[in-house]
Amino acid sequence: MFFDYLFYLVAKFYARNREKETEGTSITVVSLLQTFNLLTIWFIIIAIYYPQEYLLKIVSVGIYFFFLIFNYIRFFYREKHLPSVIHDKWLKESKKSQKEIKLTALFYVVISIVSFLGVVVYMGLKNTH
């Protein structure tokens, strides 16, 4: 349910900026954030147990495409996750719940990006020494 609302909020954000194809952009953003989360965990494991870099770029791209395809199927081919259904669920939420979900989504986005970049910078610095 969280990723449904994240998808909806990202699409709504891009729609305000008069962009077309907001659902496609939203799928890309949600997939990228999910990839950041998984890669953050993966990079921490690599840094701890396998200090040498092996296939990180290939694995990273593979994980991203997995999430991209998974989310595309989820949001366009599953009835309960269609954008119109998510929109209807969103409208049924109380204003308080909507505000909490928006704050949680914002927190998730910031933490995902910051933690991923932090681990990438750490690994980059570690590999230069």
Indicate the SS3 state at residue 114. helix
pTM above 0.75, yes or no: yes
As a whole number, the mean pLDDT across the chain is 85
pLDDT at 129 (0 to 100): 56
pLDDT at 19 (0 to 100): 67
pLDDT at 50 (0 to 100): 67
Buried b (16+ CB within 10 A) or exposed e, 3-41: bbbbbbbbbeebeeeeeeebbebbbbbbbbbbbbbbbbe
The most distant pair of C-alpha atoms in the chain lies apart, rounded to whole Å, by 54
pLDDT at 124 (0 to 100): 75
What are the residue ranges in the chain where pLDDT is below 50?
none
pLDDT at 36 (0 to 100): 92
pLDDT at 107 (0 to 100): 95
